[in-house]
């Protein structure tokens, strides 16, 4: 139905010839008129330029799920995407990831569909109730509890984008969402049976939120998984690794099973202002458990202190009264414990006068900002990269030594995908003399999780090849990158582990932005 | 060549095909059932069904009333025994889906909600917001996968039905991923391959819904019935043609012309926007041809105004419509009317089948849109098609199961399959002519849009027939550029064009012969219904020189034809 020819848009389409086992790129210039979808552009190419271009399509109204592809690194339905809305003269089109390639843009989605074989995708009821030829009753409010989750079209976008799904033990985001859809259905009678398919694998999710973010039907798989973990936690049938973390946080208010009185040991020689001796400061530094207690991460905290001191920021910490913020705990499904932590931290915040909270860790940043009950307090919360970007912009950060390395930036999911802080960290890196900044293939919202979120950093039990961190480091290695910079202690730890697993310590190093900055000041 | 055997092979995995598989598996766990589909089942066109599924569930409604509405809607071409059987089966299909988990929209007291629909004199459309077919499909797909004796052949393309002495012995099909041809032997075959409205340019149809099964049955010797009756849905979104559900009008939406008039008061003063689809589609075309359409970049259109329903109701009852209108039409129905025009939507005709889903070929059954039980006659009412797929899907599954249990495997000779493999891979795949498949396909669709649309006449139909036959000649000279066997969508495009060219020819030939106007078939040169001559079904049989037409009477049980006004 394209009637008038509009502007020319270049589509660079990744091709695969299965017969010759050859990967190549075809470039087509397609006249795009207003309203023309990406699928219509594919059809235009096939009809007019190149009949061999291979892609799937069917309904062309976003309901059959056939035509998902990657557009400039982001998965979407071709039929539900208008080319002009991409705001570009040139787009890179690739097949979905994490599934075997068949030809051009067509992947074999069988591994994705197979995940559904492990759950029940229909109601499970007693035979007695099924024998009655009558409708069940369901109030509209009860229907609303699962309706949004019933809209999954099985396009496999979430499976393509999911870092945990590279391990086939993981069900796949949409299968968990479908399982949870039935758990929430008031007509369902055998909910207890719905736990067993998840019990040993649901912990692989990192809560990176890619599934929810890219879902064309806005199905919130990510939250479903957290809710399902909550139900499993209630039953008590959780793996030892998870249990240990939860117990440690309950007992010691940190996941490292460290005596809480040692929380400020990292700063013993730094004379930092600390509550309760100090009750007022412009910035309340929320250190976080990893920077405070994990030996590797302590250097990040110490680096921040030296940067803050060098520019004269007035800051203090809660000292030993700072408890785990609870981000990982909430996402492991222990809502009760999370609330206990939050209530304590909030009560301490109430006793302290500050203008903003500064966090080292994107996980603390996210939960203090977005999760109830913290959110209700409407604190001003800043991640340190935001502050550094402000300082860089105002010229307060002056590097005196160059950093002559090829550096990339790995987006922490809880900073990037969940809070859309993408540019500040990059700005800081770009402000450093000599630093050769390159992007990896997957960056910004298309970034690939390190695999450390939602408690997985402590519960990891995947063989090396199935670890997101290993895939991520390999991606950087393939680009000849010398340093992966990041801004999250968990990213740093998991990526560093991956470097060790890959025996690549001589080739690549993992550094927090603060650590790089500090050696240039 | 690999040979595969299953007691029953179901071709097509939309609502009818999946329902057939479930019914057959419920009938006996001892029979092996294959479901063969050229797409993954949940990609089937049935997911595009939006507005609802008809069933008599509540006091005040009755089977008689549903039957009467259907018969009147059909312009008295429905077989009334089929209608009476059908309406009684609908409720249990709704309940079955409820039991499996279909998220039906609810009344305030928690019962399955029902909305009004065109031509129905009671609100009997059960719905799941405006994604009814989608939800039915996903529940049916999940249910079908719980049976150990159902095997799925996803992304397998069926090329022919094989018969010996009018007995169906199996199919030929190839796996799209590998291009590997297989002979599939069976005792019973159920065709559930959907309609053929991809023969038109402006259509609500999915790209993949190309009516393959109709042509395969036709070539195997089964007649196609009433193929001239094509339903034009009054509200195809401009520009893409995708469906805007009749439920939008069921919820209270208005159709408005360029003068701001609710013009339906001229054409159906009582039912207004909820008159049957044939009447509204003609009214819209009349408004447009008399220059009362709105003007737009993509030609004249009619406005579907939902604004007075308010944002909350639109979000609750019509969320998909809102999203589709925004994403594909560039308008938010909360703020602006939706631009629409009639779009080819449904085939009342199909593989001739009786009330048991049996075709004229022993062992070959048909259900859903590809079939014609004469349930819809000359015009289908909205919500009767998903209901039909469920009811006759189940019937065909049970009947095929009975048949398979009572019969032994026939022989499917290797030579037959090899001949078919040659036709496909040495013939069509190897073709190196001058004609582009895409050009022929587009030409066919333009011819059908231009000359066999809502308003027809002998002259244009005659021309269309000549032009379609010329395309058939050109098809012999096509080129398929992609020569690989693996996932060759160019080859599939050629095969689908081959199937649709037959269907276009049959549709036009049947329309040309019927010199009356009835239901969706309107002839300028014969504007009146003619019960004396034409109260009969068309049967189109395959012959080398094009379809051979025969006729068969309409079954009338209780409702003799009367004048049809709304």
Query: How many Å lie between the alpha carbon of A161 and the closest alpha carbon of chain B?
Result: 21
Cβ–Cβ below 8 Å for A3 and B298: yes
Both structure tokens of B405:
């249990």
Measured in whole angstroms, the distance separating CA A13 from the mean position of its chain's CA atoms is: 27
Q: Provide, as residue numbers in chain B, all residues whose Cβ is less than 8 Å from the Cβ of A1.
A: 201-202, 239-241, 298
Q: How far are the Cα atoms of A416, A473, A487, A501 from residue A480, in angstroms, in the given order?
A: 24, 11, 21, 18
- Any bridge partners for residue B524, and if so which? none
- Quick: pLDDT tens for A144-174: 999 999 999 999 999 999 999 999 999 999 9
Cβ-based contacts of A54 with chain B (< 8 Å): 482, 487-489
Q: Do B110 and A139 touch (CB under 8 A)?
A: yes
Q: How far apart are CA B273 and CA B248, in angstroms?
A: 10
Cis, bond preceding A373 (omega within 30 deg of 0)? yes
Give the residue on B whose Cα is nearest the Cα of A131.
Answer: B99
Radius of gyration of chain A (CA): 25
Residue B202 near residue B288, CB atoms below 8 Å: no
Using the Cα atoms of residue A438, residue A443, residue A448 and residue A452 in order, give the sign of their dihedral.
positive
Q: Provide the CATH number for the domain formed by A397-518 in this structure.
A: 3.40.50
The answer to whether residue B524 neighbours chain A at the CB level (below 8 Å) is no
Q: Does A47 touch chain B (CB under 8 A)?
A: yes
Residues of B in contact with A116 (CB under 8 A): 142, 145
In angstroms, rounded to a whole number, what is the distance separating the alpha carbons of residues B368 and B211? 12
- E-assigned strand segments in A441-508: 483-486
Give the number of A-B residue pairs with CB atoms closer than 8 Å.
Answer: 183
**Nearest Cβ partner for A140 among B44, B106, B439:** B106
Which of B107, B240, B436 is facing A1, going by the closest CB pair? B240
Q: Are B130 and B47 in contact, with CB atoms under 8 Å apart? A: no
Q: A413 vs chain B: nearest CA distance in angstroms?
A: 28
Class for the domain spanning A7-107? alpha beta
Tokens 């050229």 locate to: B38
B228, two tokens? 């001239």
Helix ranges, A312-334 (H)? 327-331
For B128, which residue in chain A has the nearest alpha carbon?
A: A147
Catalytic residue set of B: 233, 249
For residue B442, give how far its alpha carbon lies from the nearest alpha carbon of chain A (Å): 10
> Using CB atoms, which residue from B111, B202, B242 is nearest to A60?
B242
Nearest-Cα distance to chain A for B248, in Å, is 17
The full DSSP string for A67-99 is -EEEETTEEEEGGG-BGGGG--SEEEEEPPSSS
Distance CA A394, CA A399 (A): 13
Question: Which residues of chain B are in CATH 3.50.50.60 domains?
Answer: 2-229+348-412
User: What six digits make up the tokens of A302?
Assistant: 């110490």
Q: Give B193-221 as a 3 state SS string.
A: CCCCHHHCCCECCCCCCCCHHHHHHHHHC
In B53-167, alpha helices (H): 63-73, 80-100, 132-144
For residue range A474-516, list pLDDT tens digits in order: 999 999 999 999 999 999 999 999 999 999 999 999 999 999 9
Determine whether the interchain pair B487/A82 forms a contact, defined as Cβ–Cβ distance below 8 Å: no
Q: Which residues of A touch B329 (CB under 8 A)?
A: 35
- How far is Cα B539 from Cα B553, in angstroms, rounded to an integer? 11
- H helix count then E strand count, chain B: 16, 23
Angle (CA) A378-A379-A381 rounded to 5° is 125
DSSP secondary structure letter of residue B43: G
Find where tokens 């982001």 sit. Answer: A74
Q: Is B146 on the interface with A (CB under 8 A)?
A: yes
- Which 458-517 residues of chain B touch chain A by CB within 8 A? 480-482, 484, 486-490, 493
Selecting from A35, A50, A63 the residue whose C-beta is nearest the C-beta of B239 gives A35
CA gap B148, A408 in Å, rounded: 51
- CATH 1.20.58.100 applies to domain B415-531: yes
- What are the sequence ranges of the domains in chain A? 7-107, 111-235, 241-388, 397-518
CA distance A421 to B219: 62
B107 C-beta neighbours (distance < 10 Å), count:
14
Can you give the pLDDT at residue B375?
98
What percent of chain B shows pLDDT beyond 90? 99
Closest of A325, A171, A333, A167 to residue A243, by C-alpha: A333
Q: Cβ of B111 and A137 within 8 Å?
A: yes
pLDDT over 90 at A400, yes or no: no
- B94-115 average pLDDT score: 97
Look-up of token digits 């012999």: B476
| Start-end of CATH 3.90.700.10 domains in chain B | 234-343
From the list B163, B138, B215, the residue with the least C-alpha distance to B495 is B215
d(CA A413, CA A97): 19
pLDDT per position as a tens digit, B391-450: 999 999 999 999 999 999 999 988 989 999 999 999 999 999 999 999 999 999 999 999
CATH superfamily of A111-235: Alpha-helical ferredoxin (1.10.1060.10)
B395 Cα to chain A: minimum distance (Å): 18
What is the residue-wise DSSP string for A380-436?
Answer: -EEEHHHHHHHHHHTT----SS---SEEEEPPPTTTTTTT---HHHHHHHHTSTT-E
d(CA A317, CA A292): 11
Q: Which of residues 281-320 of B touch A (CB under 8 A)?
A: 297-299, 320
What are B202-235's pLDDT values in tens digits?
999 999 999 999 999 999 999 999 999 999 999 9
* Torsions phi, psi for B6 (to 5 deg): -140, 145
Answer whether A139 touches B (CB < 8 Å).
yes
Residue of A150, A177, A183 for testing the chain B interface, max B β-carbons within 10 Å: A150
Task: Tell if the CB–CB gap between B482 and A19 is shorter than 8 Å.
Answer: no
% of chain B exceeding 70 in pLDDT: 100
The CATH architecture to which B234-343 belongs is: Alpha-Beta Complex (3.90)
Question: In the structure encoding, which two tokens stand for residue A490, read together?
Answer: 């968990």
What pLDDT digit, counting tens, does each position of B165-212 carry?
999 999 999 999 999 999 999 999 999 999 999 999 999 999 999 999
- Asked whether the beta carbons of B475 and B435 are under 8 A apart, the reply is yes
Candidate from A108, A136, A143 with C-beta closest to B98: A136
List every span in chain B annotated with CATH 1.20.58.100: 415-531
pLDDT level of residue A459 (50, 70, 90 thresholds): confident
Cα four-point dihedral sign B16, B21, B24, B26: negative
Helix-helix angle B437-451:B458-475, to 10 degrees:
170
Touching check for B178 and chain A: CB below 8 Å? Answer: no
DSSP state of B375: S
H-helix or E-strand containing A11? Answer: strand A7-17
Average pLDDT over residues B471-499: 97
For B100, which of A3, A54, A122 is closest by C-beta distance?
Answer: A122
Confidence (pLDDT) at B539: 98
Q: Min CA distance, B109 vs chain A (Å)?
A: 6
pLDDT one-digit tens code per residue, A74-125: 999 999 999 999 999 999 999 999 999 999 999 999 999 999 999 999 999 9
Q: Average pLDDT in the B517-534 region?
A: 98
Asked if A59's CB is within 8 angstroms of B48's CB, the reply is: yes
Please list every residue in chain A whose beta carbon sits closer than 8 Å to the beta carbon of residue B138: 121, 150, 152, 154
Right CATH for B2-229+348-412 from 3.40.50.700, 3.50.50.60, 3.40.50.2000, 3.40.50.620:
3.50.50.60
Across the interface, which of A19, A113, A134 has its CB nearest the CB of B95?
Answer: A134
Per DSSP, what are the bridge partners of residue A409? Answer: A485
- Indicate whether B271 pLDDT > 70: yes
Average pLDDT over residues B289-315: 96
Whether A134 and chain B come into contact, CB under 8 Å, resolves to: yes
pLDDT at A1: 43
Is the pLDDT assigned to residue A5 strictly greater than 80?
Answer: no
Structure tokens at A393: 């912009």
Rounded CA separation A321/A218 (Å): 39
Please name the residues between 160 and 199 in chain A that touch chain B, using a CB distance below 8 Å.
182, 185, 187-188
How many other CB atoms are there within 10 angstroms of residue B315's CB atom?
13
Assess A82–B contact: CB distance below 8 Å, yes or no.
yes
CA of B218, closest CA in chain A: separation in Å? 25
Give me the mean pLDDT over the B542-561 stretch.
97
Contact B110 A138 (CB under 8 A): yes
∠ at Cα B428 (B422, B434), nearest 5°? 145
The CA distance from A43 to the nearest CA of chain B, in Å, is 10
pLDDT bin (cut points 50, 70, 90) of residue A519 is: confident
Which uninterrupted H or E stretch holds B10? strand B2-11
| The pLDDT of residue A3 is above 50 | no
Q: Locate the chain B residue with the closest alpha carbon to A153.
A: B42
Of B480, B448, B386, B423, the C-alpha closest to B128 is B386
Residue contact A135–B42, C-beta within 8 A: no
Structure tokens at B74: 């059909």
Report the alpha-carbon distance of residue B130 to residue B242 in Å, rounded. 14
Q: Measured in Å, how far apart are chain A's first and last C-alpha atoms?
A: 61
The answer to whether the Cβ–Cβ distance between A3 and B101 falls below 8 Å is: no
- Residue B285 vs residues B222, B225, B235: alpha-carbon distances, Å: 35, 27, 12
Q: CA-to-CA distance for B229 and A275, rounded, in angstroms?
A: 82
Say what the pLDDT of residue A4 is. Answer: 52
Report how far residue B48's alpha carbon sits from residue B321's, in angstroms, rounded to the nearest whole number: 11
**B328: contact with A, CB 8 A cutoff:** yes
Report whether B206 contacts B489 (CB < 8 A).
Answer: no
Within 8 A of A109 by CB-CB distance, chain B residues are 40
Structure tokens at A35: 């309203």
Tell me which DSSP letter residue A518 carries.
H
> Cα separation of A373 and A383, whole Å?
19
Residue of B nearest to A155 (CA): B43
What is the Cα–Cα distance from B326 to B320, expressed in whole angstroms? 10
Helix axes A468-478, A489-501, angle to 10 degrees: 70
Structure tokens at A159: 């499976």
pLDDT level of residue A414 (50, 70, 90 thresholds): very high
User: CA–CA distance from A18 to each of A104, A338, B155 (Å)?
Assistant: 9, 51, 17
Q: Are the beta carbons of A431 and A423 closer than 8 angstroms?
A: no
Residue whose token pair is 């992007």 = A439
**A12 CB within 8 Å of a chain B CB:** no
pLDDT tens, position by position, B70-88: 999 999 999 999 999 999 9
Helix (H), strand (E) at residue B304 = strand B302-305
> According to the model, what pLDDT value does residue A2 have?
45
| Distance (Å, whole) CA A324 – CA B432 | 70
Q: Is A18 on the interface with B (CB under 8 A)?
A: yes
ipTM reported for the complex, 2 dp: 0.96
Tell whether B545 lies on the interface with A, counting CB pairs under 8 A. no
How many residues make up chain B in this entry?
566
Contact A169, A155 (CB under 8 A): no
């Amino acid at each position: 139905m394209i009637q008038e020819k509009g502007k020319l848009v270049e589509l660079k389409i990744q091709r695969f010839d299965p017969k010759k086992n050859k990967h190549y790129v075809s470039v087509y210039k397609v006249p795009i008129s207003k309203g023309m979808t990406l699928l219509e552009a594919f059809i235009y190419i096939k009809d007019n330029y190149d009949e061999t271009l291979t892609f799937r399509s069917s309904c062309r109204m976003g309901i059959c799920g056939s035509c998902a592809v990657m557009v400039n690194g982001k998965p979407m339905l071709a039929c539900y995407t208008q080319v002009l809305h991409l705001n570009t003269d040139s787009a890179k089109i690739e097949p979905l990831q994490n599934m075997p390639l068949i030809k051009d843009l067509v992947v074999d989605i069988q591994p994705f569909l197979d995940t559904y074989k492990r759950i029940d995708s229909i109601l499970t009821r007693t035979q007695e109730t099924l024998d009655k030829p009558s409708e069940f009753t369901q109030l509209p409010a009860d229907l609303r509890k699962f309706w949004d989750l019933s809209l999954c079209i099985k396009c496999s976008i979430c499976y393509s984008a999911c870092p945990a799904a590279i391990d086939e033990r993981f069900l796949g985001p949409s299968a968990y969402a479908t399982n949870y859809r039935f758990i929430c259905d008031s007509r369902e009678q055998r909910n207890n049976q719905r736990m067993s398919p998840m019990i040993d694998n649901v912990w692989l999710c990192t809560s990176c939120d890619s599934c929810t973010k890219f879902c064309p039907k806005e199905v919130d798989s990510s939250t479903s998984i957290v809710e399902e973990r909550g139900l499993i936690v209630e039953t008590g049938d959780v793996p030892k690794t998870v249990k240990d973390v939860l117990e440690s946080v309950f007992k010691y208010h940190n996941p490292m099973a460290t005596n809480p009185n040692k929380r400020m040991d990292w700063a013993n020689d730094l004379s930092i202002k600390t509550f309760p001796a100090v009750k007022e400061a412009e910035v309340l530094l929320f250190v976080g458990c990893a920077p405070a207690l994990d030996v590797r991460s302590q250097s990040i905290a110490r680096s921040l202190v030296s940067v803050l001191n060098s520019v004269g920021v007035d800051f203090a910490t809660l000292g030993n009264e700072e408890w785990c913020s609870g981000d990982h705990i909430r996402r492991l499904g222990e809502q009760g414990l999370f609330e206990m932590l939050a209530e304590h931290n909030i009560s301490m915040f109430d006793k302290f006068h500050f203008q903003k909270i500064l966090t080292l860790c994107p996980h603390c940043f996210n939960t203090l900002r977005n999760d109830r009950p913290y959110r209700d307090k409407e604190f001003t919360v800043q991640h340190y990269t935001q502050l550094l970007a402000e300082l860089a912009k105002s010229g307060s950060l002056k590097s005196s030594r160059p950093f002559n390395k090829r550096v990339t930036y790995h987006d922490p999911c809880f900073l990037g995908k969940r809070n859309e802080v993408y540019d500040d960290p990059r700005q800081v890196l770009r402000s450093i003399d000599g630093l050769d900044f390159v992007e990896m293939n997957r960056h910004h919202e298309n970034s690939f999780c390190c695999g450390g979120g939602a408690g997985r950093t402590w519960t990891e039990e995947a063989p090396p090849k199935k670890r997101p961190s290993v895939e991520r480091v390999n991606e950087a290695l393939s680009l000849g990158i010398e340093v992966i910079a990041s801004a999250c202690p968990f990213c740093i730890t998991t990526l560093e582990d991956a470097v060790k697993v890959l025996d690549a310590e001589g080739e690549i190093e993992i550094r927090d932005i603060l650590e790089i900055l500090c050696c240039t000041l | 060549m690999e040979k595969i055997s299953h007691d029953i092979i179901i071709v097509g995995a939309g609502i009818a095909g999946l329902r057939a598989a479930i019914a057959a598996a419920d009938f006996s766990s001892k029979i092996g059932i294959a479901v063969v589909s050229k797409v993954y089942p949940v990609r089937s066109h049935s997911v595009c069904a939006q507005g609802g599924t008809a069933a008599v569930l509540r006091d005040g409604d009755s089977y008689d009333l549903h039957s009467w509405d259907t018969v009147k809607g059909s312009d008295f071409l429905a077989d009334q025994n089929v209608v009476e059987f059908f309406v009684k089966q609908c409720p249990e299909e709704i309940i079955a889906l409820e039991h499996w988990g279909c998220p039906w929209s609810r009344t305030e007291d928690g019962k399955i909600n029902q909305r009004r629909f065109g031509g129905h004199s009671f609100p009997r459309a059960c719905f799941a917001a405006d994604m009814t077919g989608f939800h039915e499909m996903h529940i049916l797909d999940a249910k079908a996968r719980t049976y150990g004796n159902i095997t799925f052949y996803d992304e397998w393309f069926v090329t022919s039905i094989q018969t010996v002495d009018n007995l169906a012995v199996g199919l030929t099909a190839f796996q799209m991923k590998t291009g590997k041809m297989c002979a599939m032997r069976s005792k019973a075959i159920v065709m559930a391959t959907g309609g053929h409205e991809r023969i038109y340019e402006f259509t609500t149809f999915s790209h993949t819904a190309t009516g393959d099964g109709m042509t395969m049955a036709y070539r195997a010797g089964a007649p196609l019935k009433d193929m001239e009756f094509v339903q034009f849905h009054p509200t195809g979104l401009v520009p893409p043609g995708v469906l805007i559900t009749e439920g939008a009008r069921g919820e209270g939406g208005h159709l408005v012309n360029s003068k701001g008039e609710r013009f339906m008061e001229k054409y159906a003063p009582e039912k207004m926007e909820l008159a049957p689809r044939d009447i509204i589609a003609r009214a819209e075309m009349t408004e447009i041809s008399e220059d009362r359409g709105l003007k737009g970049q993509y030609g004249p259109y009619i406005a579907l105004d939902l604004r007075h329903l308010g944002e909350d109701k639109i979000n609750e009852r019509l969320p998909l419509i809102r999203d589709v209108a925004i994403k594909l039409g560039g308008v938010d129905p909360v703020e602006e009317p939706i631009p629409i025009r009639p779009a080819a939507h449904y085939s009342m005709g199909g593989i001739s089948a009786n009330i048991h889903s049996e075709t004229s070929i022993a062992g070959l059954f048909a259900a859903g849109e590809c079939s014609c039980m004469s349930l819809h006659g000359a015009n289908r009412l909205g919500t009767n098609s998903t209901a039909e797929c469920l009811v006759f899907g189940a019937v065909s599954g049970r009947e095929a199961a009975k048949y398979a249990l009572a019969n032994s495997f026939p022989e499917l000779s290797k030579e037959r399959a090899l001949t078919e493999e040659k036709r496909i891979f040495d013939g069509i795949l190897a073709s190196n002519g001058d004609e582009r498949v895409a050009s022929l396909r587009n030409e066919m669709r333009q011819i059908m849009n231009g000359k066999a649309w809502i308003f027809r006449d002998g002259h244009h139909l005659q021309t269309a027939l000549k032009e379609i036959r010329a395309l058939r000649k050109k098809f012999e000279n096509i080129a398929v550029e992609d020569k690989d066997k693996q996932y060759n969508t160019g080859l599939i495009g050629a095969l689908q064009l081959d199937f649709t060219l037959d269907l276009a020819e049959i549709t036009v030939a049947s329309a040309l012969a019927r010199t009356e106007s009835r239901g969706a078939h309107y002839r300028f040169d014969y504007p009146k219904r003619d019960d004396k001559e034409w109260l009969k079904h068309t049967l189109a049989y395959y012959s080398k020189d094009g379809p051979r037409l025969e006729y068969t009477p309409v079954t009338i049980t209780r409702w003799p034809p009367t004048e049809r006004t709304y």
